[in-house]
Structure 1
Amino acid sequence: MKITYYGHSCVVVEEGGRSVIIDPFLSGNPASGIAPADIRVDAVLLTHGHSDHFGDALEIAKANDCPIVAVFELAEFCRKKGAKTFAMNIGGQQQFDGFKVKYTLAFHSSAVQDGDALIYAGEPAGILLTMGGKTFFHAGDTALFGDMRLIGEMNQIDAAALPIGDVLTMGPDDALLAAKWLRADRVIPVHYNTFPAINQNSTLFCDRLHQEGIEGHALKPGESIEI
């Protein structure tokens, strides 16, 4: 499994000729390092509807003739905008061609902007993505919550993307505890330094992970790890 980071909370995960993108906030983020037109994937996976995660989902899905996988209300919004969709909800899982998706709890909020309107987009979520026998957990935007222990107990998590920005999500201290509860072998910090309110030192966070026996990968946009 290859995981490539494209800034903020966006990652592309590839394995066995299949590829998915999670939370494709690209054109609105000058630090992403890639344009939506350059993305080639088999599915777009969304954790929630906020613009810094929903991003270019519609454009990418239509260009690739692939589905947007999202919580029901957000999937319905995308369907009405002309995209192929697959609706899911918290606790559900689905085997697709070459990858499996399971939605988990996340403690945050979720709405999608449609012109001047802010539309409820269902519950926010985390994503357990399994490809080629490896499992990647994208926590989405979330606070620390106790059931992260349960997620870690029930799944062998090979790598996790955890927000560290604070203010709008958990910060480094809570993310460090989340990494331990999840029993993740590797952690990629996300959702930080995109704008001043969420500036954090990802190198220091990864040093703290190392002290707990966890590999930390403070990836720059365009950089990858393979697991």
Structure 2
Amino acid sequence: MELTLLGHSCVLVEAGGGRVLIDPGTFSSFEDVTELDAIFVTHQHADHLDPERLPALLKNNPGASLYADSDTADIVSREEIPVTRTEAGDHFRFADLTVTAAGSRHAVITEYVPGISNVGLYLTAAGEPSFFHPGDALDAEVPGDVDLLGVPVNAPWCAVKETVEFVRRIGPSAVLPIHDALLTDAGRQIYLRHIGGFGRDGGIPVRDLHAHGTLSV
């Protein structure tokens, strides 16, 4: 499995002969991405889906289908863009890569912000590691063991104590920091020390791509 971080929460996953892009948002650089089988969106917030750049992404990837949580699918459909709704338990297959949806709701930001849907994504291929991208939620029940966990580092909806407990609950072999565009470099390192140091007894490996980069697992 090869994962390329394209900024913030946007991850390109290549495994089992499939090529999938997750969360092409405003803080991410995905203009040159082509030959996709699918584009997945965990939820509607602009840092996970840039509606202005979505048409160009789809045009550059004519063989790719768009998949999104129910609230996002409603929004996209109004623009007459074909989209498949994702719900927890759904399975989608691209060559030998399987994407399984997990979770249903975005984490609470404050009681004054209306709630929206959020569907995390569990990616597996026979003989290759597994990867889970939670979107903006820490409570999904993942339908299998997780080798590499995408971990939101910073957001208005979470505290580092919740992030650490999320990592400990899922129990991955290693973590991939995502969702960090609001941080300075110095502040980011503080978060990573907490996540890496306390995400498992004795610490857990942090595969840090720092905004952009590719990781083979």
Range class of TM-score, shorter chain:
0.7 to 0.9
My pick for the range that moved more, 38-47 or 93-102, is 93-102
How do 1:1-227 and structure 2 match up within 5 A? 1-25=1-25, 28-29=26-27, 32=28, 34-36=29-31, 38-40=32-34, 41-55=36-50, 56-65=53-62, 66-105=64-103, 107-108=105-106, 123-133=117-127, 134-142=129-137, 144-145=138-139, 148=140, 150-151=141-142, 154-168=143-157, 170-194=158-182, 200-201=188-189, 202-208=191-197, 209=199, 212-227=202-217
- Give the Cα–Cα distance (whole angstroms) in 2 for the partners of residues 193 and 52 of structure 1: 9
Consecutive unaligned residues of structure 1, counting only runs of 5 or more, are 111-119
- 2:111 maps to what in 1? none
- Give the Cα–Cα distance (whole angstroms) in 1 for the partners of residues 97 and 82 of structure 2: 18
Confirm or deny: 8 A CA contact 1:48 1:121 kept in the other structure. no
**How big is each residue's C-alpha offset from its partner over 1:159-193, in whole Å with a ceiling of 9 and x where there is no partner?**
1111121423x232221211111111111121124
Q: Counting helix residues as a fraction of each chain, which structure ranks higher?
A: 1
Q: Cα distance 1:82–1:107, how it changes in 2: closer, same or farther (>3 A)?
A: closer
Confirm or deny: 8 A CA contact 1:106 1:140 kept in the other structure. no
How much does 1:214 deviate? 2.2
**How big is each residue's C-alpha offset from its partner over 1:27-59, in whole Å with a ceiling of 9 and x where there is no partner?**
x33xx4x342x0112211110001110124343
TM (norm. structure 1) is 0.76
Aligned length: 203
CA RMSD, aligned part only? 2.7
My pick for the range that moved more, 203-212 or 70-79, is 203-212
**How big is each residue's C-alpha offset from its partner over 1:110-154, in whole Å with a ceiling of 9 and x where there is no partner?**
9xxxxxxxxx99611211122344321001112x43xx5x53xx4
TM (norm. structure 2) is 0.80
How much does 1:221 deviate? 2.7
Aligned residues with identical type, % of pairs: 25
- Give the Cα–Cα distance (whole angstroms) in 2 for the partners of residues 76 and 204 of structure 1: 39
Consecutive unaligned residues of structure 2, counting only runs of 5 or more, are 109-113
How much does 1:21 deviate? 0.8
How much does 1:11 deviate? 0.7
Letter in 1 for 2:84: F
How much does 1:87 deviate? 1.9
Q: Determine helix, strand or coil for the equivalent of 2:20.
A: strand
